[in-house]
Amino acid sequence: MSGEDPGPEEASSPPPPPPAGHRPLDHRFSEDARDYLRLRNTAAGLRQDFNMMEQKKRVTMVLQSPSFREELESLIQEQTKKGRSSHIWALRQIADFMATSAPAVFPTTPVAGLGGLGEQLGPSTVAPINDLQGSDAPALAKGERLLRCKLAGLHRLLDLHGWAALGHAYVTLRVNKEQGHFLVRPQGLACARVTAAALVKVNIVGEVVDRQRRQRRCPVDSVDFRLHAAIYAARPDVRCVIHLHTPATAAVSAMKCGLLAASHDALLVGDAVYYDFNGEMEDEGRPRQPAEMVVLRNHGILALGATVEEAFYNIFHAQAACEIQVAALPSAGGADNLIVLERERFRPQQAGAGRWAGTTFAPCRRAGSGSTSSRPS
C-alpha cells in the first residue's frame, strides 16, 4: 500500500560508488598500487636530490672563494717550510683540482688553437685560465704561477676588447731579473685560447728554456720578441710590454702631430717617446728615458709597465686616446682646430702612477667574468 511506511530494507539506498582512482587500504600493497608507490618514492628521492644540490652549491661557493684559496696557499707554504711532504702533496692536489675544475666564464671565440687545442676544446668551449697541473709546479720560479695567470688573463682582456684580431697584439712579461727569463705566447695561438700552462718561457735572445717546450717544438715569434727584448735590455724597471697596432693606434702613429693631449685618456697615458720603426729597433733607438708609452712611427704603440696591471692601464687609456683623436680630427677639420690641453696643468695626479693601475685592470677583469661594471676612469 502507498500509505504504509517502507521497511528497513527498502528505506536504505545502496552506497555510492568509490571515486575514480580510489584504492581501499587493504589493497595498498596489491598489484594495482605499484604506480602509487613508485610516485611516492620518486617524490622522496627528488627531495633528497634537491637537498644534496643545495649542499654542493654551498661547498662550491666556499671552494671557489678567493679567501679560501689564499688560506690554502698559505697553508701549503707553511707545510713546505716544515718539510711535511705527505701533507704538501695532499694540499697541492686539492689546490690543483680547484684551479683546473673552475668553470670558464669568459666569452668564447671560435678560433682554432695551437697543437689541436681548438679542436680538442671545441669552438664553444673556453679553457680555464689557470690550467697548471701539479707536475708543472716544481718547474715554476717563485711567483711564476701568479704571473702566468695574470698574463693569460691579460690576453683574454685584449681579445674581449677586440684589440687582438689577426695578431694585432703581442704581450710579454719578465719573470725575474736574475735569470733573464720571459713569458710569451706561442706563435699561432689566439689570445682567446691563452692559458697559464700554454705560455712559453724564453731567454733574452728568444730561445725556449723549458725542456718540455723544446721537445714539443713550440714556435715563438722571434721578430716581435726582439723588439721587446731591446726594451727590456734598456729598461730594467719594465716588467711587462704590450704591443698594439690596432687601426686607431696605427693611425695616430702615422700623424706628424703624434698623440695630442685632446682628451682625459691622453693625459692618463703619461710620457711618450717616438721612434722610426723598420722592423727592428737599433741600440741607439732603444727607449732609455722613463716613458710609459713608445710610439713606433707608421706602425703602432708599445705600453710599458712595472706590473701587468700598470701595462694594461697604459694601453687601455692609450687606445681610448687614439680612438678619440682619430674621431675628433675630421670633425674639427684638422689639428689646428682642436683644443689641446697643457699636460703640466691638466695632468691628473694618477697619470703614470702604478698604484692606480688596478683601477683599470681589476674592473675589466671582473667585467670579463660576467659581472657588470662601468668604464673605468
pLDDT at 269 over 90: no
Q: How confident is the prediction for the chain on average, in pLDDT?
A: 74
88 vs 82: CA distance, rounded Å = 10
Contacts of 79 (CB under 8 A, 6+ apart): 87, 88, 91
- What is the DSSP-derived secondary structure letter of residue 17? P
Please state which of the ranges 170-179, 271-280, 310-319 shows the lowest mean pLDDT.
Answer: 271-280
Q: What is the pLDDT of residue 101?
A: 44
Confidence of residue 373 (pLDDT cuts 50, 70, 90): very low
- Rounded Cα distance, 219 and 213, in Å: 9
* pLDDT tens per residue, range 8-43: 445 555 656 655 555 554 444 454 566 666 656 666
Q: What is the mean pLDDT of residues 224-236?
A: 92
Query: Looking at this protein, which amino acid is placed at residue 321?
Result: A
pLDDT tens profile 50-73: 677 777 777 777 777 777 777 777
Lowest pLDDT segment from 183-197, 217-231, 313-327: 217-231
pTM here is: 0.63
169-176 and 181-184 beta bridge pairing: antiparallel
How far, in Å, CA of 98 to CA of 147, rounded?
18
Give the model's pLDDT for residue 109. Answer: 39
Query: For the stretch 32-56, what's the b/e string if a residue is b when 16 or more beta carbons lie within 10 angstroms of its beta carbon?
Result: eeeeeeeeeeeeeeeeeeeeeeeee
- Answer yes or no: is pLDDT of 172 > 90: yes
Cα separations in angstroms, 206 against 36, 85, 182, 185, 212:
73, 36, 9, 12, 16
The three cell numbers locating residue 197: 700552462
How does pLDDT run across 290-307, given as a tens digit for each residue? 788 999 999 999 999 999
CB atoms within 10 A of CB 252: 25
> How many Cα atoms within 13 Å fall on the side-chain side of residue 200?
27
261 by Cβ neighbours in 10 Å (0-12 / 13-18 / 19+) ranks as: buried
Could you give the CA distance from residue 64 to residue 56 in angstroms, rounded to a whole number?
12
